[in-house]
Amino acid sequence: MSSPLLEIKDMHVHYGAIHAIQGINIKVNQGEIVTILGSNGAGKTTTLHSISGLIPISSGEILFDGKPIHTFPAHKIVAEGVAQSPEGRMVFPDLTVQENLEMGAYLREDNHKIKEDLEYMFKLFPRLLERKKQLAGTLSGGEQQMLAIARAYMANPRLLLLDEPSLGIAPILVQAIFDAIVEINKHGTTILLVEQNAYAALKIAHRAYVIATGEMFMEGPANELIKNEEIQKAYLGH
């Protein structure tokens, strides 16, 4: 059996005295969509930030393709093949849509493949093509979200981390964005998706983890969790 693409082993993270992540284990296999669910402040963003190297971990391990990456600076982790579309989108408002996408491909030299990926993103998100020359700061929230995902994709990652892509976005656009995530996954990119919109995430994910106040609360195949009573009560509003 091949080793998982991403493996988090007994990870702890502190913000000063706050013990935000208290020993969690996560595995993501090649080709999967895995989702991390949890309510406000559960530790989802902290987990993604730790994977990306933006927050140091206090103990434990993060292995990417078997290699420990938790001591790397953030930009080196991108070079390893992990890209992130961060919470709140963080598109560069004073750069155009096109320039934002160029920044996504910052470390790449393979110009032909970059152009191919760019065309693929424009096909997936035609709104971005129409607004190619527009400053990203003038886009709507939903369009900025598309841009943030496309920008992360432009790094040509083996693992794409998405932090709450449905946050603050009109329901019609949420569907379009989740369809795009499925399409990107089918195209060959492994995805780790953080969501509060548990229902939408469980519908597209293969497996799911549920974090509650920094600890693993539950994990399993998405189609089982979606039927689980506890999950339905706590996260699906049934």
Partner 1 sequence: MSENVTYFFYDLFQYLVNGLAQGSIYALIALGYTMVYGIIKLINFAHGEFYMIGAFIGFYCLVSGMPLWMAFPAAMIGAGLVAVLVEKIVYRPIRHAGRIPALITALGTSLLFQYLGQGVIGADPKAFPSAIAEKTYMLGEVIITRTQIIIMVVTFALMVILYWLVNHTKTGKAMRATSFNMNAAELMGINTNKIISFTFFIGAALAGAAGVLVGMYYNTAEPMMGLIPGLKAFIAAVLGGIGIIPGAVIGGLVLGVAENLVVGFWISTYRDAIAFAILILILLIKPAGILGKNRKEKV
Ligand X SMILES: Nc1ncnc2c1ncn2[C@@H]1O[C@H](COP(=O)(O)OP(=O)(O)OP(=O)(O)O)[C@@H](O)[C@H]1O
By the 10 Å C-beta count (0-12 exposed, 13-18 middle, 19+ buried), 101 is classed as buried
For residue 124, CA distances in Å to 2, 28, 146, 150, 182 come to: 31, 25, 9, 9, 11
Scored b (16 or more CB within 10 A) or e, 201-211 reads bbebbbbbbbb
Residue 45 touching Mg ion (CB under 5 A): yes
The stretch near partner 1 (CB under 8 A) out of 3-11, 60-68, 122-130, 149-157 is 149-157
**Strand pairing report for 33-37 and 190-195:** parallel
Which one of 4, 43, 53, 81 is in contact with ligand X (CB under 6 A)?
Answer: 43
Residue 210 touching ligand X (CB under 6 A): no
Residue 3 CB, shortest distance to Mg ion, in Å, is 28
Residue 131 touching ligand X (CB under 6 A): no
By the 10 Å C-beta count (0-12 exposed, 13-18 middle, 19+ buried), 80 is classed as middle
Map residues 12-41 to x or -, x wherever contact with ligand X holds by CB under 6 A.
Answer: ---x--x-x-----------------x-xx
Among ligand X, partner 1, Mg ion, none, partner that 38 touches (CB below 5 to 8 angstroms by kind): ligand X
Which one of 97, 152, 222, 231 is in contact with partner 1 (CB under 8 A)?
Answer: 152
Scored b (16 or more CB within 10 A) or e, 122-137 reads bebbebbeebeeebbe
Q: How many helices (H) and strands (E) does the chain have?
A: 10, 10
Residue 83 CB, shortest distance to partner 1, in Å, is 7
Structure tokens at 189: 């990119």
**Sign of the CA dihedral running 88, 92, 98, 102:** negative
Report the C-alpha gap between 234 and 38 in whole angstroms: 9
Map residues 153-192 to x or -, x wherever contact with partner 1 holds by CB under 8 A.
Answer: --x-------------------------------------
Residue 50 CB, shortest distance to ligand X, in Å, is 9
The stretch near partner 1 (CB under 8 A) out of 87-95, 189-197, 203-211, 224-232 is 87-95
Among partner 1, ligand X, Mg ion, none, partner that 73 touches (CB below 5 to 8 angstroms by kind): partner 1
CB atoms within 10 A of CB 18: 9
Report the C-alpha gap between 16 and 12 in whole angstroms: 12
Residue 132 touching partner 1 (CB under 8 A): no
Binding site residues, Mg ion, CB under 5 A = 44-45, 87
Binding site residues, partner 1, CB under 8 A = 52-54, 73-75, 78-79, 83-84, 86, 90, 92-95, 99, 102-104, 106-107, 151-152, 155
Binding site residues, ligand X, CB under 6 A = 15, 18, 20, 38, 40-46, 87, 196
